[in-house]
Amino acid sequence: MNWNRRVVGIMAAAALAALTVAGGVTALASRVAAQTDTSERWIHVRVDNKEAKGEMVRVNVPLSLAEAILPAVDNGNLHHGRVRFGHSDFNGTDVHAILSALAAAKDGEFVTVQKTDAEVRVEKKEGMLLIHVVDKDRYPEQRVEVRVPMAVVNAMVKSDSDELDLVAGLRALAAQGISEIVTVDNGDNHVRVWLDNKNVSD
């Protein structure tokens, strides 16, 4: 249904602001080996996979280091600290228009979907973009929670560009006092992306 495609497009666009930052930092992990002042903000990615004999992934990167290195990365859609997107990336959805509209909109619940097999909620509240997704069609059910400061969205979106500026997003993120950004849990796998002042994962 066209309505379902629009909902998926909105979800994808909203999540992009958080996930591209986390994804870009994760891509840098294999290239980064450095120590910095632990008083600064660090971004952490933790993946626990119970299915694969308890395999774990830990990524710890200071935001200042990610900000310095991102412009040097040229991989896939990530070019010199920017992520380029087009209408074809999200089934014709204008990602830029959606993010710009979200940045200008007042607080409110923009998308609410409650079905027997899924639950989706996208809202803006107290300067935060909040995304809640439950996939009940999987067993065990999968839950996704995303929290992105609108200041980060505003920093990444440029009115005259079809790109997201990740470096500007990281600078804005460093100034925020939030902790949790993304959590994904389906029982067998748990993914967590968060910020704090520690140079090691919890």
pLDDT at 34 over 70: no
pLDDT digits (tens, 9 = 90+) for 44-53: 999 988 776 7
How high is the mean pLDDT of the chain? 76
Q: What is d(CA 35, CA 94) in angstroms, rounded to the nearest whole number? A: 40
Residue 54 confidence class, pLDDT cut points 50, 70, 90? low
Predicted pLDDT at 91? 52
How wide is the angle at C-alpha 22 spanned by C-alphas 17 and 23, nearest 5°?
100
Q: What are phi and psi of 106, to 5 degrees?
A: -75, 170
Can you list the alpha helix ranges (DSSP code H) found in 29-110? 63-69, 95-104
Coil, strand, or helix at residue 109?
A: strand
Both tokens assigned to 72? 């040097």
pTM: 0.67
pLDDT digits (tens, 9 = 90+) for 102-129: 778 889 988 888 888 888 888 999 889 9
Higher pLDDT, 45 or 34: 45
- What integer is the mean pLDDT of 39-44? 84
pLDDT digits (tens, 9 = 90+) for 134-189: 988 777 788 999 998 988 888 888 766 678 888 888 888 888 877 889 999 987 78
